[in-house]
Amino acid sequence: MARFAKKEGALKDKEYNALRRKIDHWAVRWKEELLPGWEIIFHYEREPLQNIEGNLLERSSGYTHFLWEYRSASISFNLLLMAERTDRQNENTVIHELCHCLVAELVTGDERPDGEAHMERVVTDIVTSLNWVRDAAIKGKLPKPLPSKSEQ
């Protein structure tokens, strides 16, 4: 569990810096694994995030703005909200935001009004799958790959 005190709606500098280092560690590590070749800038905020239209996202721990055609993204994290969550939840938020880049080009513009909801579900499922693989690898319980046709 992240152990950072939330006092009067603000994080103290020491708490902010400690949490930022953790989030940045996960962000850089997972970015290299999932999105090599992408240019991603990470932002760490102490207040509610805003989407590209300027709307406040008071209950969002992360927000990703991407230009998939240029393999470029900006990801913002709300450390005030993340301070109340466990390390596992926070790492999952980092992975979740990065996964938006993986599926970004599937939902663009306004051609699908429900596209954002679909993207959230797909990204959440990808994070669940990645966690399963990581946990199985840590426990030494990854299934053996199926033989290829040439091996049969």
Q: 43-76: per-residue pLDDT in tens?
A: 999 988 877 778 788 888 999 998 888 999 999 9
Q: Which residue has the tokens 């954002």?
A: 116
- Dist. CA 16–CA 79, nearest whole Å: 7
Q: 105-150: per-residue pLDDT in tens?
A: 887 655 555 667 777 888 888 988 998 888 888 898 878 777 877 7
Judged against a pLDDT cut of 50, whether residue 11 lies above it is answered with yes
| Confidence band of 151 (pLDDT split at 50, 70, 90) | low
CA dihedral sign, ordered 105, 107, 110, 112: positive
